[in-house]
């Protein structure tokens, strides 16, 4: 038996740090896409491990749909300030005005698709050549096929048929003018790995991840928070429930789960016992069609 | 809890997707909504049966054609281990995808259809496993129910495969009879094979020793990035950031920086911002040296008493991965860990038939999925090990300078 043991979390952590350092080594203008959700908070934590005591070699970039949870926005601002790192925020609202985009209509009108425009404009504005994101392969089966270094054309499009072979731990970040790369350092982590790591590293999270009372309406078995961004109709069943969020996206397309979990340990217990996947339980936007994620990614979605 | 990365080689016909579906399903890694989604899709198909292949075939084109095109990564865990499955297509036209999936694997499951025995595809997958130096092989003889769970059939396949393994030098091979569709011998040991003395497939996967696969003898540290805060408080801080690809480093070790050959000693090692006395593969660390020497990305820090080869001409086994043919004399970028150099493919000695191991001397054409022996000359020296000895410092990729695409995988000889 070897005395040099590594736990699986150590291996995942080391792999993610290695990937981030490859980004810093290979690109001129990288960025870290930060949403205030647990996955991107974990990314920031990993980036600190990769580059401290130096400054991060990339800014944190948030594409703000205007439909975010206030708790996540506050957390974002506090974290950036506490770390002394640069935070760039670009608003979907501004893109809609500048480009005369049409707001989606409907009960849960989501700006999810529109954020791709703002993201691509932001990449163009700052000439970012690599964007680090917190996507995981266990989330969805189109993601399960995506490389860690995922090359996008000038329209931000992912072409699953033109993916580069990715061997060993060798990442090819060479691109042509106009192309950019999306980089996913936590590709090989599962939801449970993230929570176990958050527990081990004592990483702070926005309060909405823990159980709290919230006014919600029930829609096809999902609990959607009452906010200015959704249409409440007279026949809707609105009630106050004890909930937490398993993922944090827009208020319009993220559903809450009923829960009394008030600590990380409680949450991990619930996740181990759950029978529904993270996206299946909480993302209204994936229910559109079987290939919803593949199609969004082909169009430049992150 | 540790980590096992394994690849499943085979086609839908061998029951590969059913096997993966079983492992995920029986280890409770498939969620209800995912199952409902594939049930819904299965209804769109003619036979109406739940098709577990739909779990892994993530792209629309794959679902439409009913084949696996690209490598998919799947995850499951038991209380003992976390598993990463690289689910690779088995057909010869996707050899490059299997090579990709195999490059990181600790273990390969080779699926054999009990009715057909060892066939061309079995040989090809085993050859790729051996080329990529996958440490452990599990030969799963599937569809045993279709041969009446016959011990004779199984034994004959084992005898046939042992020949293949001997030829290829596969050292650690475990055999198991299974019936993926019934879940026999997958998670629990089945009573269908009273003559079989081994453990269930999951038990094998949970217990195969992988920690000894990481080399802790030959220390290699490719520098990825130099951390220099240049603030008043940290004016002299200069840390070399990277991942120890093999071996162990301790404070005070005498080191040589390659390819320059400059020597120094380790002053300090940091892991996640904390100073440690020693660190080992596969940790990501920051090294500090006693002397202020010129080191940048692409250099490799090794122990002075254990050095890799340094040179500008290497012999490689090369798997070609591009639709455009490989033309001797063409220039490519060669990337070995953090080092990228210009290179030229000088000579192609032979082409290897991945079905039979036969060599075709001086082939006229080298195309997609071909495996060849070649000599590569690099524009400046690189520090490398043979792939057989050190997978982590002997595997390099070739990049087309004009399209920037990864076109080849090199196993340095």
Residue B114 phi/psi, 5-degree rounding, is -55, -30
Of B157, B162, B73, B91, the residue nearest B128 (C-alpha): B91
B214 touches chain A (CB under 8 A): yes
- B1/A165 Cβ within 8 A: no
pLDDT at A288: 44
User: Long-range contacts for B23-30 (Cβ within 8 Å, ≥24 apart)?
Assistant: B23/B76, B23/B83, B23/B85, B23/B186, B23/B187, B23/B201, B23/B202, B24/B55, B24/B74, B24/B76, B25/B52, B26/B183, B26/B186, B26/B187, B26/B202, B27/B76, B27/B77, B27/B78, B27/B187, B27/B202, B29/B75, B29/B76, B29/B77, B30/B55
Residue B111 confidence (pLDDT) above 60: yes
DSSP B366-413: B-TT-EEEEEEEEEEEEEE--TTT-GGGTEEEEEETTT--EEEEEEE-
Residue B40 confidence (pLDDT) above 80: no
pLDDT band, residue B11 (cuts 50/70/90)? low
Of B405, B384, B303, the residue nearest B336 (C-alpha): B384
Nearest to A145 among B70, B405, B409 (CB): B70
Ramachandran area for residue A202 (φ above 0: left; ψ -120 to 50: alpha; else beta): left
* Mean pLDDT score of chain B: 89
β-pair partners for B286 = B241, B270
Per-residue pLDDT, averaged over B1-13, amounts to: 83
Nearest to B338 among A4, A12, A25 (CB): A25
Do both B275 and B331 map to the same domain?
no
Cβ atoms within 10 A of the Cβ of A216, count? Answer: 20
**What are the DSSP E strand ranges found in B228-370?**
239-243, 248-250, 254-258, 262-271, 274-276, 278-280, 284-289, 300-303, 309-320, 331-336, 339-352, 359-361
The residue ranking higher by pLDDT, A297 or A56, is A56
Residue A49 confidence (pLDDT) above 70: yes
Per-residue pLDDT, averaged over B325-338, amounts to: 94
Sheet holding B136-142, edge to edge: B72-77, B81-87, B2-9, B107-113, B136-142, B172-177
Residue A7: closest CA among chain B residues belongs to which residue? B2
Query: B35: which 2 tokens?
Result: 């199952």
Q: A-contacting residues of B 4-23, CB under 8 Å?
A: none
- B173: domain CATH number is 3.40.50.300
Residue B151 confidence (pLDDT) above 50: yes
Query: B376: which 2 tokens?
Result: 């590569």
Residue A286 confidence (pLDDT) above 60: no
Q: Which of B212, B240, B270 is the last residue of a domain?
A: B212
Percent of chain B exceeding pLDDT 70 equals: 90
Q: B-contacting residues of A 21-80, CB under 8 Å?
A: 21-22, 24-25, 48-55, 57
State the burial class of residue B104 (Cβ atoms within 10 Å of its Cβ: 0-12, 13-18, 19+).
buried
Least confident window among A210-214, B223-227, B375-379: A210-214
Report the residue of B5, B368, B404, B412 to disrupt the A interface, i.e. the one with the largest count of A CBs within 10 Å: B404
Do both B94 and B152 map to the same domain?
yes
pLDDT band, residue B103 (cuts 50/70/90)? very high
Is B246 in contact with B392 (CB distance < 8 Å)? yes
pLDDT band, residue A187 (cuts 50/70/90)? very high
Nearest to A172 among B103, B234, B406 (CB): B406
- A276/B33 Cβ within 8 A: yes
- A2/B96 Cβ within 8 A: no
Query: B244: which 2 tokens?
Result: 């120890």
**Gyration radius of chain A's alpha carbons:** 19
pLDDT at B25: 78
Q: Rounded to the nearest 10 degrees, what angle do helices A115-126 and A92-99 cross at?
A: 90
pLDDT at A54: 93
* Helix, strand and coil in chain A, % to nearest 5: 35, 15, 45
Residue B42, H or E segment:
helix B32-44
DSSP A137-180: TTS-TTGGG--SEEEE-TT----GGGPPP--TT-------TT-E
Residue B56 confidence (pLDDT) above 50: yes
Residue B401: closest CA among chain A residues belongs to which residue? A174
Cβ atoms within 10 A of the Cβ of B318, count? Answer: 26
- B241/A51 Cβ within 8 A: yes
The separation between CA A270 and the C-alpha centre of its own chain, rounded to angstroms, equals 21
Do both B135 and B150 map to the same domain?
yes
Using a CB-CB distance cutoff of 8 angstroms, which residues of chain A are in contact with residue B97?
Answer: 165
Query: A289: which 2 tokens?
Result: 């069609």
The separation between CA B174 and the C-alpha centre of its own chain, rounded to angstroms, equals 19
- A277/B31 Cβ within 8 A: yes
Do both B145 and B271 map to the same domain?
no
Do both B17 and B54 map to the same domain?
yes
pLDDT band, residue B66 (cuts 50/70/90)? low
Of B92, B106, B93, the residue nearest B8 (C-alpha): B106
pLDDT of B314-324, one tens digit each? 999 999 999 99
Nearest to A170 among B57, B337, B404 (CB): B337
pLDDT at B9: 80
How many domains, chain B?
A: 3
Of A249, A255, A261, A224, the residue nearest A239 (C-alpha): A224
Using a CB-CB distance cutoff of 8 angstroms, which residues of chain B are in contact with residue A277?
Answer: 31, 33-34
- B267: domain CATH number is 2.40.30.10
pLDDT band, residue B69 (cuts 50/70/90)? low
pLDDT at A1: 46
Per-residue pLDDT, averaged over A142-171, amounts to: 86
Do both B132 and B238 map to the same domain?
no
Residue B36 confidence (pLDDT) above 80: no
Q: Which of B176, B193, B212 is the last residue of a domain?
A: B212
Do both B172 and B208 map to the same domain?
yes
Residue A256 confidence (pLDDT) above 60: yes
Using a CB-CB distance cutoff of 8 angstroms, which residues of chain B are in contact with residue A1?
Answer: 211
Residue A106 confidence (pLDDT) above 90: no
Q: How far is B210 from chain A (nearest CA, A)?
A: 10
Residue A281: closest CA among chain B residues belongs to which residue? B33
pLDDT band, residue B54 (cuts 50/70/90)? low
Contacts of A272 (CB under 8 A, 6+ apart): A192
Report the residue of B225, B231, B392, B398 to disrupt the A interface, i.e. the one with the largest count of A CBs within 10 Å: B225
pLDDT at A287: 47
Report the residue of A2, A53, A190 to disrupt the B interface, i.e. the one with the largest count of B CBs within 10 Å: A53
pLDDT at B336: 97
Q: How far is B253 from chain A (nearest CA, A)?
A: 18
Do both B320 and B401 map to the same domain?
yes
State the burial class of residue B67 (Cβ atoms within 10 Å of its Cβ: 0-12, 13-18, 19+).
middle
Nearest to A14 among B81, B284, B396 (CB): B284
Do both B336 and B297 map to the same domain?
no
Q: How far is A293 from chain B (nearest CA, A)?
A: 10
Q: Which of B303, B320, B338 is the last residue of a domain?
A: B303
Kindly report the pTM of this predicted structure: 0.92
pLDDT of B115-127, one tens digit each? 999 988 898 889 9
Residues listed for chain A: 302
Per-residue pLDDT, averaged over B364-382, amounts to: 93
Q: How far is B244 from chain A (nearest CA, A)?
A: 10
Pairwise CA distance, residues B256 & B264, whole Å: 6
Query: B300: which 2 tokens?
Result: 């490799």
Do both B334 and B366 map to the same domain?
yes
Q: A-contacting residues of B 332-391, CB under 8 Å?
A: 333, 335-338, 391
- A165/B321 Cβ within 8 A: yes
Do both B234 and B208 map to the same domain?
no
Between the CA of residue B325 and those of A132, B355, B370, what are the distances in Å? 33, 20, 10
Helix (H, G, I), strand (E, B) or coil at B180: helix
Is B129 in contact with B102 (CB distance < 8 Å)? yes
Least confident window among A111-120, B62-71, B108-117, B187-196: B62-71
Residue B406 lies in domain: 309-412
* Mean pLDDT score of chain A: 87
β-pair partners for B225 = B241
Q: What is the ipTM of this complex?
A: 0.92
Do both B148 and B171 map to the same domain?
yes
Nearest to B234 among A15, A53, A143 (CB): A53
Least confident window among A139-143, B271-275, B397-401: A139-143
Residue A37 confidence (pLDDT) above 70: yes
Q: How far is B146 from chain A (nearest CA, A)?
A: 32
């Amino acid at each position: 038996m070897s005395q040099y043991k590594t736990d699986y979390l150590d291996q995942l952590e080391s792999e993610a740090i290695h990937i981030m350092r490859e980004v810093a080594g290979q690109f001129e203008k990288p960025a870290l896409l930060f949403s205030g959700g647990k996955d991107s908070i974990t990314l920031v934590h990993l980036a600190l491990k990769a580059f401290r005591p130096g400054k991060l070699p990339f800014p944190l970039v948030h594409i703000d749909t205007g439909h975010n949870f206030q708790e996540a926005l506050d957390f974002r601002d506090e974290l950036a300030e506490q770390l002394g790192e640069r935070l760039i925020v670009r608003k979907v609202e501004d893109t809609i005005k500048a480009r005369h985009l049409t707001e989606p209509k409907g009960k849960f009108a989501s700006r999810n698709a529109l954020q791709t425009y703002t993201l691509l404009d932001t990449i163009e504005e700052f000439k970012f050549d690599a964007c680090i994101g917190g996507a995981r392969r266990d989330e969805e089966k189109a993601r399960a096929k995506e490389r860690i270094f995922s090359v996008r054309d000038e329209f931000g499009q992912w072409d699953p048929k033109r993916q580069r072979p990715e061997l060993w731990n060798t990442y090819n970040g060479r691109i042509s003018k106009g192309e950019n790369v999306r980089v996913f350092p936590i590709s090989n982590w599962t939801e449970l790995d993230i929570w176990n790591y958050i527990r081990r590293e004592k990483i702070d999270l926005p309060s909405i991840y823990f159980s709290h009372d919230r006014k919600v309406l029930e829609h096809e078995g999902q609990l959607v928070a009452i906010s200015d961004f959704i249409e409440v109709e007279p026949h809707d069943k609105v009630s106050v429930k004890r909930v937490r969020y398993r993922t944090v996206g827009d208020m319009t397309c993220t559903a809450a789960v009923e829960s009394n979990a008030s600590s990380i340990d409680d949450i991990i217990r619930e996740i181990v016992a759950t029978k529904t996947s993270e996206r299946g339980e909480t993302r209204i936007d994936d229910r559109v069609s079987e290939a919803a994620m593949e199609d969004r990614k082909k169009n430049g979605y992150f | 809890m540790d980590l096992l990365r394994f690849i499943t080689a085979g086609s839908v016909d061998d029951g590969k997707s059913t096997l993966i579906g079983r492992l995920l399903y029986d280890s409770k890694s498939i969620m209800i909504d995912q199952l409902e989604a594939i049930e819904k899709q299965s209804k769109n198909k003619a036979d109406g049966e739940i098709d577990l292949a739909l779990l892994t075939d993530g792209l629309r084109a794959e679902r439409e054609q009913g084949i696996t095109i690209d490598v998919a990564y799947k995850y499951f865990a038991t209380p003992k281990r976390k598993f990463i499955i690289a689910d690779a297509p088995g057909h010869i036209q996707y050899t490059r995808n299997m090579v990709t999936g195999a490059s990181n694997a600790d273990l390969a499951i080779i699926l054999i259809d009990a009715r057909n025995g060892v066939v061309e595809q079995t040989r090809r997958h085993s050859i790729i496993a051996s080329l990529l130096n996958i440490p452990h092989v599990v030969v799963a003889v599937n569809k045993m129910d279709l041969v009446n769970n016959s011990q004779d059939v199984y034994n004959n396949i084992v005898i046939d495969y042992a020949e293949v393994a001997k030829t290829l030098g596969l050292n650690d091979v475990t055999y198991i009879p299974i019936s993926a569709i019934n879940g026999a011998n997958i998670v629990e040991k089945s009573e269908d094979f009273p003559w079989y003395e081994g453990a269930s497939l999951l038990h094998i996967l949970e217990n195969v020793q992988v920690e000894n696969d990481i080399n802790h003898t030959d220390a290699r540290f490719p520098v990825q990035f130099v951390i220099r805060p240049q603030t008043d408080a940290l004016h002299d801080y200069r840390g070399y950031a990277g991942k120890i690809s093999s071996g162990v480093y301790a404070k005070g070790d005498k080191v040589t920086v390659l390819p320059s050959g400059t020597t120094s000693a380790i002053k300090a090692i940091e892991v996640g911002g904390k100073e440690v006395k020693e660190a080992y593969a596969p940790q990501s660390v920051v090294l500090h040296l006693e002397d202020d020497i010129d080191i940048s990305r692409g250099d490799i820090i090794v122990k002075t008493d254990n050095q890799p080869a340094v040179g500008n001409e290497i012999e490689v086994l090369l798997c070609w991965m591009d639709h455009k043919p490989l033309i001797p004399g063409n220039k490519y970028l060669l990337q070995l860990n953090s080092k990228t150099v210009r290179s030229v493919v000088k000579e192609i000695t032979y082409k290897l038939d991945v079905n039979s191991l036969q060599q075709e001397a001086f082939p006229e054409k080298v195309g997609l999925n071909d495996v060849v022996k070649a000599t590569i000359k690099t524009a400046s020296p690189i520090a490398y090990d043979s792939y057989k000895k050190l997978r982590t410092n002997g595997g390099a990729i070739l990049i087309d300078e004009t399209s920037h695409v990864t076109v080849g995988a090199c196993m340095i000889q």
